[in-house]
Structure 1
Amino acid sequence: MGDNAQRTEQAARRIMRMNAAYFQSKVLQSAVELGVFEMLAAGPATAGEICEELSLHPRLTGDFLDALVGLDLLDRADGHYTLAGEMADLLVASGGFYLGGSVASHARKHFRAWGELTAALRDGEAKSDIKGGTDGFMRLYQNPEAVARLMDHMDTFNRFVAPKLAVCMDWSGYRSFVDIGGARGNVASLLVQALPGLTGHVFDLPPVEPLFHEHMAKHGTADRVRFHGGDFLVDALPETDVAIIGHVLHDWPHEYRQKLIDRTYEAIRPGGALLVYDPMIDNDRREADALLQSLNCRVLSSGGSEYTVDEARSLVEHAGYRYDTVVELANLNNDRVVIARKDA
């Protein structure tokens, strides 16, 4: 086979892997939805035992379970299935780094919305029932079950962000920070544990407060992190040394992003810093992961999208900050954090 034919075949294989990539996604999502990992956390089980416990039909289950083995999510020995490697930490709810909340969210909302991508490209409309803006979040927060799912989904990602934020800059000159749109305070809790000299604040809508207090009590940080309820586009932000805005701006159109950044400048003390993180798009717009994440925002919500590093720099400089640097966090989302300073 000549070089051209080999390159063509390699490209063809890549396209076909891409075309069938959802096979893997759905196997993982169904395993989470069915409770396969939770069941096996209690001990090994045969295919028959799994079928009986989870009410599965045997016609598909053998291939399904063995596919999970092939994907390194399960192990199999002597006809019994067990959790593979770190799966007890990652795919069992009691695990320290549980990803199942996000997996379930993708199965429930993202996968369905992406099924209508062709239509979205034609009509420009979002294809989920997610309502953006403050009113949309307030409506969501009236549904405790939906809120719990959202918090699990968010914490899936931000538990890997907080340790990176703790080392992305020198915090030694700062005493306080506020996490704007910080939900139940997972990032804030992890930050004060990593940086004992800091006092944390979380600013979010008032219905989140009971979830915040529950989360702080669970992590033993109730005495070091305080909740402030309000609308971050309307109500006064608490005075602070450092403001953090993470996985928030991509839910809003440009004019609201600028308004929020402007408002942080008023709250940050002279000499303070602003940290903004999201899966920012590279300035050349060539990195597929961030561009697909931006498309995900647009498919799910009419006002959302990711933005480039240069766009983030423009936002902070327009507000009066001095742009300092951008740091690649190398976390689950491949977030970038833009660090800006308010001169003393």
Structure 2
Amino acid sequence: MTQPLTPLSTRPAPLVDPRPFATGTPAARQSATAHRVYEALIAMWSTGVIEAGHDLGLFERLATGPATVPELAADLGADPRATRVLCDALVVYGVLERGDHGRFAMPADIAACLLADGLYSLAGKIFYDRTVAWDAWRGLADAVRRGPVDAHGDDQANQISDVDYEQLTGGINFWAPPIAELLAGWLRDAGWDARPGRTVLDVGCGTGIYSHLLLQAFPGATSTGLEAARIVPIADRQAGLLGVADRFTATACDFMSDPWPSGVDLALFVNIFHLQHPAAARRLLARSAAALAPDGVLCVVDHIVDREGPLDSPQDRFALLFAASMLATGGGGAHALADYDLWLAGAGLRRVALLDAPMHRVLFAARADAALPFRMDGAGR
């Protein structure tokens, strides 16, 4: 189950002091509510100052060492007073630190997130927001009126282009380490490493990061990643960087229609189902059932909503917001756990475990008639 996160310097302190609202009068309550909503409305300020730092080359400059405002302004070709304003704002959001003698510094973990060459860099996410997300969010009201359908009234698959997907796929690598650790731990508990030569089919593998981390955890396993042609070189290059190139093969294909390997031990779908409408999701699960070995396992890592619960977990809260993002950007959504169970049953599969990752849920399934040593988790989920 999910472990509490270590407090991060990037989690800013609240911007509203609640103490003056202690009187509890109607006016105080209404004002307190307005302050809370206002704080949500200005959340875009954090994006603005981070993107400005990115555009100016501030993060690349601070990666070489701390600097004063005059030094930064001179190096960036910027106004000194405005540079101080930006740096102060970035300190508020925990992106920069203010040290002695007026020098600003960037923590190493922040640098790894914001510099373009990091394995877990968010630079691709910034690019995606600039080219797709911000304009799409402005049209959310129209998307709500229209619904997630195409011109013919059919459910619409997500409309992300290959170019935008290429940028985004590297910008979400950061999700992988805790998820891969959960995957590997559950598979070990299920005896998955008792037999060498296990095979993984990573459908829509993106950069291949989940396969690569799993292959590091299981030295005898191999993985085949199915992905668009322009993404395959990225996945192959990263496999080399992570030392698993000899056991990872990326294959260019349309995974909705091209043939899949058969007899695989693990069919892995990470951040794939939220891009699909229900009919496409059912097709993918049917194809998975046909590809699995008799004792094979299906794993879906996605934003899965458990509508049978109170909807107050981090995973549910993020999934509900993510669904709004998918609606704005053109199709797909955060599907409900009950829907997955129905789709799995229709494909002759059954859910055998559900785990909580920091922002995702990890669903394991097997053949409905398989007698496997898999157990439900501690909550009976």
Class of the TM-score when normalised by the shorter of the 2 chains: 0.7 to 0.9
**Shift in alpha-carbon separation, 1:36–1:159, aligned structure 2, 3 A:** farther
2:224 partner letter: H
- TM-score, reference length from structure 2: 0.78
Say which of 323, 328, 331 aligns to 1:299.
328
1:198 partner letter: A
Residue 149 (1) aligns with residue 167 (2): yes
SS at match of 1:260: helix
Cα-to-partner distance string for 1:124-177 (whole Å, 9 max, x where unaligned): 479xxxxx869x67x62xx5xx56423322423335432232223433356111
SS at match of 1:324: strand
- TM-score, reference length from structure 1: 0.86
Range with greater deviation from structure 2 (72-81 or 43-52): 43-52
**Contact map agreement 1:323 1:340 (CA 8 A) in 2:** yes
**Shift in alpha-carbon separation, 1:29–1:160, aligned structure 2, 3 A:** farther
Name stretches of at least 5 consecutive residues in structure 1 with no aligned partner: 127-131
CA RMSD of aligned residues (A): 2.6
Q: Which residue of 1 aligns with 2:18?
A: none
Q: In the TM superposition, what is the alpha-carbon distance from 1:94 to its structure 2 partner?
A: 4.1
After superposition, where does 1:216-295 map in structure 2 within 5 Å? Answer: 216-239=239-262, 240-284=264-308, 286=311, 287-295=316-324
Residue 172 (1) aligns with residue 172 (2): no
**Shift in alpha-carbon separation, 1:147–1:300, aligned structure 2, 3 A:** closer
Q: Which residue of 2 aligns with 1:12?
A: 34
Distance 1:124 1:101 in 2: 28
**Contact map agreement 1:313 1:338 (CA 8 A) in 2:** no
Q: Which residue of 1 aligns with 2:8?
A: none
**Shift in alpha-carbon separation, 1:176–1:125, aligned structure 2, 3 A:** closer
Distance 2:306 2:32 in 1: 27
Say which of 71, 92, 102 aligns to 2:125.
102
Say which of 336, 339, 342 aligns to 1:308.
336
Q: Which residue of 1 aligns with 2:95?
A: 73
Say which of 61, 66, 70 aligns to 1:44.
66
Range with greater deviation from structure 2 (259-268 or 15-24): 15-24
Distance 1:316 1:274 in 2: 10
Distance 1:323 1:20 in 2: 41
SS at match of 1:274: strand
**Contact map agreement 1:179 1:203 (CA 8 A) in 2:** yes
Name stretches of at least 5 consecutive residues in structure 2 with no aligned partner: 1-21, 150-155, 372-381
Cα-to-partner distance string for 1:185-229 (whole Å, 9 max, x where unaligned): 221111100222322111123343333322222222111112233
**Shift in alpha-carbon separation, 1:196–1:109, aligned structure 2, 3 A:** same
**Shift in alpha-carbon separation, 1:3–1:168, aligned structure 2, 3 A:** farther
Q: In the TM superposition, what is the alpha-carbon distance from 1:281 to its structure 2 partner?
A: 1.7
Range with greater deviation from structure 2 (148-157 or 288-297): 148-157
